[in-house]
Amino acid sequence: MLTLEGVTRRFGGLTAVRAVELEVARGELLGIIGPNGAGKTTLFNVIAGYYRPQEGRVLFEGRDVTGRPPHEICRLGLTRTFQIVKPFGNLSVLDNVMIGSLTRVTSVRSARADADRVIEVCGLAPYAGARARALPIGLRKRLEVARALATRPRLLLLDEVMAGLNPAELAGMVALIRRLHAEGLTLIVIEHIMAAMMRLARRIVVLHHGEKIAEGTPAEVAADRRVIDAYLGEEFVLAEA
């Protein structure tokens, strides 16, 4: 469904993503992990059209989307969320989600019905009328997912939607991601915390200094010497998982 061919993105002298190859199959839930500054978010920015890679190509459903603007990529069926959530702060939760729906439906009325359904799925129904900026972080992360879902993606990129959540919120988010995956959505999930990811993804890609250093099942990745070195001092996290 998604293919990255030797994608490289540099910022001046710094190579944030180096020659990354990636293949994501339809219906898969792929995890991308790596320490801070490993290039995870940069990779998302390249896939979603925010950065043009200096080298390599991004293929979505067989189509070359390298360098296309983000809104076109979204309309093709690939939507991303932001690690630092970007809610439309002065608008209600419902309006936020409706703006996503309106990318697929032209009538405001059907967008509202559509948004209501997505809000229900994401457990935001009690807050539909609240201003987005009044929501606590756990709900804002949910809103970020809800808004992206409203654009009816076939591939959804989630950038650290579990970071900063308390244990109850985390469980809710994991359940939501599992449900979306079970319903047939293809997902790529970035997470800094490995424990949550180990339970969620069947296949994990590890980035370090912009390079892919390991790929495989959670167990394989956790046993990989280079991964353990990259996460030096976090071995206990792997052990726990």
Partner 1 sequence: MVAWYGGALLLFGAAALAPVAVRDAFLLDALVIMLLWGAASAAWNVAGGYAGQVSLGHAAFFGIGAYAAALAGARFGQSPWLGLLAGVALSLAAGGIIGYLSNRLRGPYFALSTIAFSQVLLIVASRWRGFTAGSEGIPVPFRPGFWTLGLGHVAWVYLALAVAVLYYGVQVYLERSRVGYQLAGVREDEDAAEALGIATRRLKVVAITLSAALTSVCGALWAQYVGFVDPFYVFSIDLSIRFALHTIIGGIGSALGPYLGAILITALETYLRATFSGVRTGFTGIYLIIYGTALIVVVRFLPEGLTGLLARLRRPRAAARVADRAHA
Residues 204-233 that bind partner 1 (CB under 8 A): none
Residues 50-79 that bind partner 1 (CB under 8 A): 50, 69-71, 74-75, 79
Residue located via tokens 């892919």:
212
Show the site string, 118-157: x = touches partner 1 by CB under 8 A, - = not: --------xx-xxx--xxx--x-------xx-xx------
Rounded to a whole number of angstroms, the minimum distance from the CB of residue 219 to partner 1 is 34
Q: Which two tokens stand for residue 198?
A: 């180990």
Nearer to partner 1, 37 or 70 (CB): 70
Rule CB under 8 A: is residue 174 a binding residue for partner 1? no
DSSP reduced 3-state for 178: helix
Residue count, binding to partner 1 (CB under 8 A): 40
Nearer to partner 1, 157 or 170 (CB): 157
Q: Hey, what amino acid is at 99?
A: I
Q: Which of 3, 15, 66, 103 binds partner 1 (CB under 8 A)?
A: 103
Distance CA 237, CA 241 (A): 6
Backbone angles phi, psi at 158, to 5 degrees: -105, 120
Nearer to partner 1, 70 or 164 (CB): 70
Angle between helices 93-101 and 108-121 (to 10 degrees): 110
Rounded to a whole number of angstroms, the minimum distance from the CB of residue 172 to partner 1 is 15
Distance CA 35, CA 157 (A): 18
Q: Are 213 and 230 in contact (CB under 8 A)?
A: yes
Rounded to a whole number of angstroms, the minimum distance from the CB of residue 227 to partner 1 is 30
Q: Indicate the pairing of strand 29-33 with strand 155-159.
A: unpaired
Distance CA 168, CA 138 (A): 10
Rule CB under 8 A: is residue 27 a binding residue for partner 1? no
Rounded to a whole number of angstroms, the minimum distance from the CB of residue 12 to partner 1 is 20
Q: Indicate the pairing of strand 155-159 with strand 55-60.
A: unpaired
CA–centroid distance for 89 within its chain: 21
Q: Which two tokens stand for residue 163?
A: 């970071």
Q: Which of 1, 19, 59, 99 binds partner 1 (CB under 8 A)?
A: 99
In eight-state DSSP terms, residue 164 is: T
Rule CB under 8 A: is residue 86 a binding residue for partner 1? yes
Q: Which of 22, 58, 98, 165 binds partner 1 (CB under 8 A)?
A: 98
Site for partner 1, rule CB under 8 A: 48, 50, 69-71, 74-75, 79-82, 86-91, 95, 98-100, 102-103, 106-108, 111, 126-127, 129-131, 134-136, 139, 147-148, 150-151
